């Protein structure tokens, strides 16, 4: 049996910090937060920043209700740990309308084409749709169905969602 080396055992064990500091930009505002490493971006946005437009549905990447933009790309905020979003630029549904309340064209289209019923999935649908159009992935109804297939609507408003997204794509 080996004798413990007193030099090595006299040091306290290394411990991981309880929180990590993260810098990120949310809807154009620079934020610095200390977070538990298990905190998802979804939880941060809703519970620390009070940005409750981003909805919490399945918490496991299957419904799309939590869709936001991270560095300009669609992302499921329930699957992103805040610590991995250090230095990222986050945009949520709260940033889409103009400061004077004028709706973003995609928001207007959802209203005009009656593309919602209960509205729970709508912020995620709109964030996804805005990116789809910007990326050129809304050139046909099939495109929209394909590229937005990660956004579920339990009210089944799909036909009108497709019409709304296509109307914005065609107006560009």
Question: Whose Cβ is closer to ligand FES: residue 63's or residue 88's?
Answer: 63
Which residues between 53 and 112 bind ligand FES (CB under 6 A)? 56-59, 61-66, 76, 78
Kindly tell me which of 49 and 139 has the beta carbon lying closer to ligand FES: 49
Those residues with Cβ within 8 angstroms of residue 33's Cβ, 6 or more apart along the chain or in another chain: 21, 22, 24, 44, 48, 82
Q: Does 119 bind ligand FES (CB under 6 A)?
A: yes
Cite the DSSP H helix spans in the chain. 6-9, 41-43, 105-112, 122-134, 141-147, 158-170
Q: Is 51 left (phi over 0), alpha (psi -120 to 50) or beta?
A: beta
Total binding residues for ligand FES by CB under 6 A?
23
In this structure, how many other beta carbons lie within 10 angstroms of the beta carbon of residue 161?
Answer: 27
Nearer to ligand FES, 34 or 112 (CB): 112
By beta-carbon proximity to ligand FES, the closer residue of 56 and 162 is 56
Q: Which residues bind ligand FES (CB under 6 A)?
A: 56-59, 61-66, 76, 78, 116-122, 153-155, 157
């Amino acid at each position: 049996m080996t004798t413990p080396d007193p030099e090595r055992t006299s040091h306290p064990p290394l411990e991981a910090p309880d929180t990590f500091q993260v810098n990120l930009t949310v809807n154009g505002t620079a934020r610095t937060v200390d977070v538990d490493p298990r905190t998802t971006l979804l939880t941060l946005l809703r519970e620390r920043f009070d940005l409750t437009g981003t909805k919490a549905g399945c918490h496991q990447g299957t419904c799309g209700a939590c869709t936001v933009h991270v560095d300009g790309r669609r992302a499921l905020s329930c699957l992103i740990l805040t610590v991995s979003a250090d230095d990222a630029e986050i945009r949520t549904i709260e940033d889409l309308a103009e400061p004077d309340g004028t709706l973003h064209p995609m928001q207007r289209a959802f209203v005009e084409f009656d593309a919602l019923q209960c509205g729970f999935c709508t912020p995620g649908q709109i964030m996804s749709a805005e990116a789809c159009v910007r990326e050129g992935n809304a050139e046909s109804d099939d495109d929209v169905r394909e590229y937005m297939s990660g956004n579920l609507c339990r009210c089944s408003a799909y036909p009108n969602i497709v019409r709304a997204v296509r109307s914005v794509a065609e107006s560009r």
